[in-house]
Amino acid sequence: MFRSALTVLSQTSETKITNCSIGLEFVRWRRKPRWLPVAKSKVFRIPEKKPQSMDEKLELLRLHNHYKTQMRSMRMYLREESQRIRETSTADHLVMSVEEEEAEFQRCLNLNKEWNDQIAAERNLRLEKENAAKREYIKERLELAKEREEDRLQRIEEIVRKEKEASKTFITRENIDQAIETALANPLDFNFSIDLRGNLYHGRTTVPGGPPDQKQPQPELLAAAAN
């Protein structure tokens, strides 16, 4: 009956969700959070104690007695087992003589030394591998640094060589007069224009019309350029 009621409730909820908009969300079996206080309408309400049948009381009493009996037997068994182990270990300890204790101590000491030697050998092997890998890494880094330094020196030498070649054309105190006379005798005009056909015309006074090598400047353009 309870299962059929749940089925009906779930079908009803699905129907409501289908009929409503998608943005709504239904929360079923919501419980009150533990941090909220008791409602004012239930502060002084005393819940009614439901009567318990005699059969239920007898069944609960039987289960309770059965649980108590099992726990009592387990505690007694564990107590006896612990006492037996304690007595056995104490008896073995009392039976051992001084020579046997010394021999056992030496055996443990030798075993501990063997373990320490084994761990030390493994540690030394691991450290050797790490040192070899570190030396190889440092060697590679030094070689890369050496190659970078050689490349840098080559670039510096190339720059110095180019500057030495370019210094031959520098204007100095000795050849400044000659450079001025050369510049005045050979004036340069860096203006140029390009027509729709892609022809390049150097100079601000060049007149387009024919091939670039046959163009002559017009007098009015020369006068305008002079002004």
Q: What is the pLDDT of residues 119-133, one digit of tens each?
A: 999 999 999 999 999
Query: Cα 100 to chain center, whole Å?
Result: 59
C-alpha span between 117 and 128 (Å, rounded): 16
> What are residue 200's DSSP bridge partners?
194
* Residues whose CB is less than 8 angstroms from the CB of residue 179 and which lie 6 or more positions away in sequence, other chains included: 171
pLDDT above 70: residue 173: yes
Q: Which helix H or strand E contains 200, and what residues bound it?
A: strand 200-202
- For residue 208, the model assigns a pLDDT of 62
C-alpha span between 137 and 143 (Å, rounded): 10
pLDDT above 80: residue 90: no
Query: Cα 30 to chain center, whole Å?
Result: 40
Q: How confident is the model at residue 86 (pLDDT cuts 50, 70, 90)?
A: confident
- For residue 25, the model assigns a pLDDT of 60
pTM as predicted = 0.34
What length does the chain have? 227
C-alpha span between 56 and 63 (Å, rounded): 11
- For residue 202, the model assigns a pLDDT of 79
- Per-residue tokens: 185: 């005798």
Q: How confident is the model at residue 135 (pLDDT cuts 50, 70, 90)?
A: very high
Q: Which backbone phi and psi does 45 adopt, to 5 degrees?
A: -85, 130
Question: Positive or negative, the Cα torsion across 157, 162, 168, 172?
Answer: negative
State the average pLDDT for the chain.
Answer: 80
C-alpha span between 200 and 179 (Å, rounded): 29
Contact (CB, 8 A) for 28 and 13: yes
Contact (CB, 8 A) for 145 and 137: no
Contact (CB, 8 A) for 192 and 202: yes
- Per-residue tokens: 200: 């390049």
Give the best-scoring range by mean pLDDT among 27-36, 44-53, 128-137: 128-137
What residues does each domain of the chain span? Answer: 99-186, 188-226
